[in-house]
Structure 1
Amino acid sequence: MARPLIMPLMLLACCVLATSASQSRVLVLMDEPSLAETHSRFLGGLRAQGHDLDVQPIDAASLRLVRWGDWIYDKLVILGGRKGLGGALDVALVLQFFDAGHDVILALDPAAGPELRELASELGVDVDAAEARVLDHSAYDGALAATAHDVVHADVSVGLNRHVFPAGIHGPVLFSGAGLSVSPESSTAFVALNAGPTAYGGEPGKAVTVARLAGRGVGLVALIQARNNARAAVTASLDLLSDAFFSAQAISPEGKSLGSSANEAAVDALARWALSQRGVLIVRSVSHRVVGGEVEPERYRVKDEVEFSVRIDRLTDGEVAPYAAEDVQVELTMLDPHVRATLTHDGAGTFSARVTAPDAYGVFKWVLSYRRRGLTGLELSRTVPIRPFAHDEYERFIFQAYPYYGSIFSLMAAFLATGAAFLYTK
């Protein structure tokens, strides 16, 4: 009776282990326990994406990210307010966690304390003053902010990164919180969702003569992708992720219904991107060869026709599909690039290019550096020496040398004619 049950139980155990291994461990820190109820749909969306959530108070004395030198969690989500980080957590440790390649979502209350503001700043995002809110007297919600005008509508069709947000998000995004700004010189941080052209940052009910943030310069959600491809999302609005805003009906200032808010769809897309489930490029294979020769030879010869190819896939919401782009380039370099070529793709994810090896010998490298906003960066290199011609590989007769050949034979003919004339004439 027991033997027939052994195999099914073993298979079940393997399935459970495989499932648990595929899930990422996410530490969720909350400023107040009530956020688990007011933001249940956001947390449920994370679970639906396949994450295993461990929800803890942000100031718990037992908090830790590292145990015996190993990271306990794969991702970190902070829903922060006035309280600081507790336990063994501090800004330096969270940044170390991020630098190790782990993803972070940071959602702040506008009046968040200095520690969480410092964390946002270290990630490359500046949060407006604690008393400031994003205000818009032309694009506010007529039901939620009829007087204060501090619940604004963001147009999802303006300034959205196509690698972050999928097509088909309809309706305005409701936002209530502080504005963000990112340095225009930053190569890692960018604003993914902006306020409208008439928005500005200021204190509700008070006149503002000079606004620190105004118009499209008011960021609502900022995204960061580090050079190690770790990702982070920062917003200074807890309401953006709340059940109330997910289920709200957007109302224009004139009282007209604009339909359901797009908060749930937009936040789901942002979370998927920030937790590396969207816009992830995967290199499947890399090869190079002399045209018609073996793959990845030990060396090239100068002026050989050589070919470089790479297979790139793209991960989007758990589905892998071939990547297609017209701007992927490869270089053949030795200190400086000698050859640069644009790769052509076959529609099935394979990019390739044929080039002529430079007329210089030494140790060269194939280098592919591809970084686009919203996509993980690719940094590939393959080393291959290039040798000069061997002695028996040079051409025996060169067209450019024909004048020299002619001068030699003309000299010989002249010598023979002069000798014959000297010997046989009187």
Structure 2
Amino acid sequence: KLRKLASLVQSKYGEFLYKHLILFPSVEEFGGSLSVEAITDFVDNGGYVLVAGRSNPRDALMELAFKCEFEVDEENAAVIDHLNYDISGSEDHTLVGASPENLINSEIVIGKKSVGPLLYRGTGLLADMENPLVLLRVVFTDCSYVPDAPINEYPHTRTLLIAALQARNNATVVFSGSLYFFSVSTVQRAQDENLHNKSDNQDMATFISKWVFGGNGVRVRSDKHLKTRLERKKIPPVAYTITEPVVNETLAADGKWQPFQVNDIQLEFVRIDPFVRTTLSHIGGGRFRPYSRSPMCMASKFKVDYDRIGYAHLYSTTQVSVQPPTLTQYERFIPAYPYYVSTYSMMVGNAFFSFLR
């Protein structure tokens, strides 16, 4: 929708009208009821946002970036690279040909890394150094500065091109300092003899957009726990007994909710701290299953806490009870062998001494 429309609203009667929001603004402020506060409230309620700016970011965009823990460079500043630039661009070398080697190493976010350069014309970003979702960073030859201004101080090299924020409620915000990044054109980088028919921006922008809008992710479809002897009956027990073999089966999925295949999901048997921690074995079809024995008597829970870069935080718990064995479950003869030995030895002794008389 156009920003001048008065009907530009995100929510009505306390419910959001959209799940995804794309902001490619070139205005001083948003129109309608759209504002920085409305967008941050949208994120707080689990919304997905994709934002792209340019070399002259507006106040609304800079404020939104600050709310999302990013910092946009000063007005009219641009990312400059005098070595890795597109030779068909302007002489100020602000049309940077970013290398795909500087992309985040996460296939869920960017898919398979591209081989061609990525065009970028825009301003730089700053983010927390501990932010794991830096999607595209600069090389040491890049800097962010006002092209026409004299360089009076050394520009830092901590500039980021594209970064993301994933909130605790799995809401995702992607910030790009370049609207030009979401375009397709022929590119030939300096220091590169190959002329590429097109940059890899289209594929990369498509994959990043798919990720930020929840097209790639993981969820728990079902979670079951069984006693091994009841596994065929698929009946979850009311309670477990100490040292009883337990099987917990989790079915996860991703993409179009296809079976998820990974080998680093762990299951914890938790009371206050984990008493048992074991890796889930993938048994095919997106099913993961560990075998363990129930620990001491307690009211505890099975917990799967899967938190990986690029994935939604996967958290699943199931509370179970563990009780001591009942009287009928104790073994009768073998644990009482001292009593039986003493009894029979006394009988044999009495018979022996009676015979001696």
Secondary structure at the aligned position of 1:292 is classed as helix
Give the corresponding residue for 1:276.
214
Select the residue among 252, 265, 275 that pairs with 1:312: 252
Give the corresponding residue for 2:235.
295
**Cα distance change on mapping 1:412 and 1:66 into 2, 3 Å:** same
Q: Is the contact made by 1:176 and 1:240 (CA closer than 8 Å) also made in structure 2?
A: yes
CA positional deviation for 1:254:
7.1
Secondary structure at the aligned position of 1:115 is classed as helix
> Where in structure 2 are there 5+ consecutive unaligned residues?
none
1:73 and 1:394 map into 2 onto residues whose CA distance is 60
User: Structure 1 or 2: larger helix share?
Assistant: 1
1:378-426 Cα offsets, whole Å, 9 max, x none, are 1111111111111232233556x76x54995599589969x97xx97xx
1:295 and 1:131 map into 2 onto residues whose CA distance is 66
2:286 and 2:61 map into 1 onto residues whose CA distance is 41
Q: Is the contact made by 1:174 and 1:250 (CA closer than 8 Å) also made in structure 2?
A: no
Alignment of 1:115-154 (within 5 A): 115-145=60-90, 147-154=91-98
Give the root-mean-square deviation of aligned CA atoms. Answer: 2.8
1:208 and 1:328 map into 2 onto residues whose CA distance is 52
Q: Is the contact made by 1:329 and 1:340 (CA closer than 8 Å) also made in structure 2?
A: yes
Q: Is the contact made by 1:82 and 1:111 (CA closer than 8 Å) also made in structure 2?
A: no
AA paired with 1:105? Answer: L
1:120-154 Cα offsets, whole Å, 9 max, x none, are 22223222222322111111111103x21211111
| Percent identity between the two aligned chains | 28
TM-score by length of 1: 0.75
Give the corresponding residue for 2:155.
211
Q: Is the contact made by 1:172 and 1:261 (CA closer than 8 Å) also made in structure 2?
A: yes
Say how many residue pairs are matched: 352
Q: Is the contact made by 1:142 and 1:253 (CA closer than 8 Å) also made in structure 2?
A: no
Q: Is the contact made by 1:153 and 1:196 (CA closer than 8 Å) also made in structure 2?
A: no
1:238 and 1:96 map into 2 onto residues whose CA distance is 24
1:247 and 1:284 map into 2 onto residues whose CA distance is 42
**Cα distance change on mapping 1:300 and 1:254 into 2, 3 Å:** closer
CA positional deviation for 1:211:
2.4
CA positional deviation for 1:295:
2.6
Q: Is the contact made by 2:84 and 2:96 (CA closer than 8 Å) also made in structure 1?
A: yes
CA positional deviation for 1:308:
0.6
1:268 and 1:349 map into 2 onto residues whose CA distance is 26
Q: Is the contact made by 1:190 and 1:222 (CA closer than 8 Å) also made in structure 2?
A: yes
Q: Is the contact made by 1:109 and 1:236 (CA closer than 8 Å) also made in structure 2?
A: yes
**Cα distance change on mapping 1:84 and 1:390 into 2, 3 Å:** same
CA positional deviation for 1:84:
1.2
AA paired with 2:316? Answer: L
Q: Is the contact made by 1:109 and 1:237 (CA closer than 8 Å) also made in structure 2?
A: yes
CA positional deviation for 1:197:
3.0
**Cα distance change on mapping 1:398 and 1:180 into 2, 3 Å:** farther
Q: Is the contact made by 1:143 and 1:255 (CA closer than 8 Å) also made in structure 2?
A: no
CA positional deviation for 1:65:
1.0
Give the corresponding residue for 2:107.
162
Q: Are residue 381 (structure 1) and residue 311 (structure 2) matched?
A: no
> Where in structure 1 are there 5+ consecutive unaligned residues?
1-54
Secondary structure at the aligned position of 2:100 is classed as coil
Q: Are residue 366 (structure 1) and residue 307 (structure 2) matched?
A: no
2:113 and 2:341 map into 1 onto residues whose CA distance is 78
Q: Are residue 257 (structure 1) and residue 195 (structure 2) matched?
A: yes
CA positional deviation for 1:326:
0.9
Secondary structure at the aligned position of 1:221 is classed as strand
Give the corresponding residue for 2:14.
69
Give the corresponding residue for 1:235.
176
AA paired with 2:139? Answer: G
Q: Is the contact made by 1:287 and 1:295 (CA closer than 8 Å) also made in structure 2?
A: no
Secondary structure at the aligned position of 2:107 is classed as coil
Give the corresponding residue for 1:354.
291
Give the corresponding residue for 1:191.
134
Give the corresponding residue for 2:38.
93
2:340 and 2:332 map into 1 onto residues whose CA distance is 15
Q: Is the contact made by 2:86 and 2:93 (CA closer than 8 Å) also made in structure 1?
A: yes
Secondary structure at the aligned position of 1:346 is classed as strand
AA paired with 1:269? Answer: F
Give the corresponding residue for 1:12.
none
**Cα distance change on mapping 1:253 and 1:388 into 2, 3 Å:** same
Give the corresponding residue for 2:280.
343
1:225 and 1:239 map into 2 onto residues whose CA distance is 24
Secondary structure at the aligned position of 1:340 is classed as strand
Q: Is the contact made by 2:97 and 2:189 (CA closer than 8 Å) also made in structure 1?
A: no
Q: Are residue 331 (structure 1) and residue 259 (structure 2) matched?
A: no
Q: Is the contact made by 2:55 and 2:75 (CA closer than 8 Å) also made in structure 1?
A: yes
AA paired with 1:194? Answer: R
AA paired with 2:168? Answer: R
Q: Are residue 224 (structure 1) and residue 169 (structure 2) matched?
A: no
AA paired with 2:46? Answer: G
Secondary structure at the aligned position of 1:312 is classed as strand
Q: Are residue 391 (structure 1) and residue 327 (structure 2) matched?
A: yes
1:314-337 Cα offsets, whole Å, 9 max, x none, are 11xxx4432111101111111211
